[in-house]
Structure formats: structure tokens, C-alpha cells
Amino acid sequence: MPAKLSVNLNAIAMLRNRRDLPWPSVIGLGRIALAAGAHGLTVHPRPDERHIRRSDLSGIRALVDDEFPQAEFNIEGYPSEEFLQLVERHQPEQVTLVPDDPSQATSDHGWNFAAQAAFLVPIVKRLKKGGFRVSLFADPDPDTVTIARDIGADRIELYTGPYGACHSDSEKAGNELERLGKTADAALAAGLAVNAGHDLVVDNLPPLVRRIPALAEVSIGHGLTADAMEHGMARTVERFLKACGW
């Protein structure tokens, strides 16, 4: 089965937040994305609410439950106590833990699994006890994925930023793609499923899914939102689904 597409709504929310107005509608565009065939919606609520707001979450949860029950809601973020309570309140199907500092503009690195295992183990245990699928944001490093498994994760999400940054350098992109592929191979061999996300676009998705045919899910926000400004949300979701192999 091709990789599922989860549409990250953060960039839409960030544009909305430039004015004290309700548009563009996070819920409305999420609805269009799901109606066009997206498999889920992703949000990353940060403490300063500079894009997704806490008040958005109940509406997104209701959208999935009431209109698209086959879809999934993925909440990602740094696992502070406030974040964990937010997750437990809104019951996403998947929780993606990232090692972000609150001041970061966007996620730009994965967990140091060896150094942060003791921190992550009880958090993952708590989330798993709550019935959530847990994914850990990971740099492309095949030597560390067994630690992610031992921490208790169900999946890793490969940080594809360096790959996406090679948009004008095909040789470097090929090298980054192989790093991602080797990490995915190791993760799959260790019993983990593999997601991917960050700076993925229509052009660089097909090589990624060819190299990692068992890729479970891609979460895409910035590039997809930029594409939607040109093609519209429904057409953009169709373009990204085709790039994933659907």
C-alpha cells in the first residue's frame, strides 16, 4: 500500500493568525483536504500558539469523527505535561513526539535516542497506556533506531529536511535519500513502522516512496500549503496523493 498522506494544517493556521479574522479556515480547508482523499490531518500546537491554537483541536477532532471517521488525527509536539494533557483531552489516533525548543520556528532535528531514552520511556509508556500510537521524530541514522524501539515507540518519523533542502542539487539529494532509506531499512528490520515529514513536495516524494516502499505515512504542511495557493487544496491533495503512488 502506498504511503498515506496526512495534511499538516499549521501553515494555514499561521496565515489565519496574521489577522483577527476566521479565515483562511483551518477546519474548512481540512475538510476539503479530507474530501479530496487525504488520509488524515496533522497539527503541531506550540506553547505560543503562533499557528495552531488549542481552541482549534476540538473542531478538528469533531471534523474527523463526524464527517471522515476513516481518517486519522495526528498531534505532534514536545512532550511537556501541558502537551500530554492536550493529547489526552483530544484523543488523536497518533502522537508524534518531537524534541523542539519552544522558540524554534519549525522542527529541525530528531531525538538523540541514546541521551534522551530515560526521559522518553515513561512518556511513551503513558501514551501507549492511553491507547495512542506513538511516533518519534528521528534523524536519518540507522544505528539508533533499535533504541527508539526499546523506548517503546510504534513508529519513527524520519526528518526529511536535509533531503528537501537539496531541491537544486540532485547528487546531494541522492545521498540524503540513501541515508533516509538505510535508516528506514533498519527501522523496519527492528519492527518499527516508518513515517516521514519535512519539506516534502510533489517533485521529491516519488523518489522517497520508491526508496522506502513500506513507508507508512507522510505528513506535509509547508510545501502542500504553498502548492494549494496555486492549484487549490483539493487539486493539491490529488497531486500529492499521486506523488505518493495512489
Under 8 Å between Cβ of 246 and 237: no
How does DSSP assign 60-124, residue by residue? HHHHHHHH-TTSEEEEEE---HHHHHHHHHH--SEEEE----TT-SS------HHHHHHHHHHHH
Three cell numbers, residue 165: 533542502
**Total residues belonging to the chain:** 246
Alpha helices in the chain (DSSP H): 10-16, 26-35, 54-67, 81-90, 113-129, 145-151, 161-164, 170-189, 205-211, 222-231, 233-244
Active site residue 93: no
In whole angstroms, give the CA distance from residue 16 to residue 12.
6
- Pick the catalytic residue: 39, 51, 72, 76? 76
- Pick the catalytic residue: 39, 51, 90, 198? 198
Active site residue 44: yes
In whole angstroms, give the CA distance from residue 239 to residue 54.
30
- Pick the catalytic residue: 44, 90, 157, 217? 44
Residue 231: name the closest of 33, 25, 18 by CA: 33
Active site residue 238: no
β-strand partners of 196 = 158, 218
In whole angstroms, give the CA distance from residue 79 to residue 101.
11
In whole angstroms, give the CA distance from residue 186 to residue 191.
9
Which residues form the catalytic set? 44, 76, 198
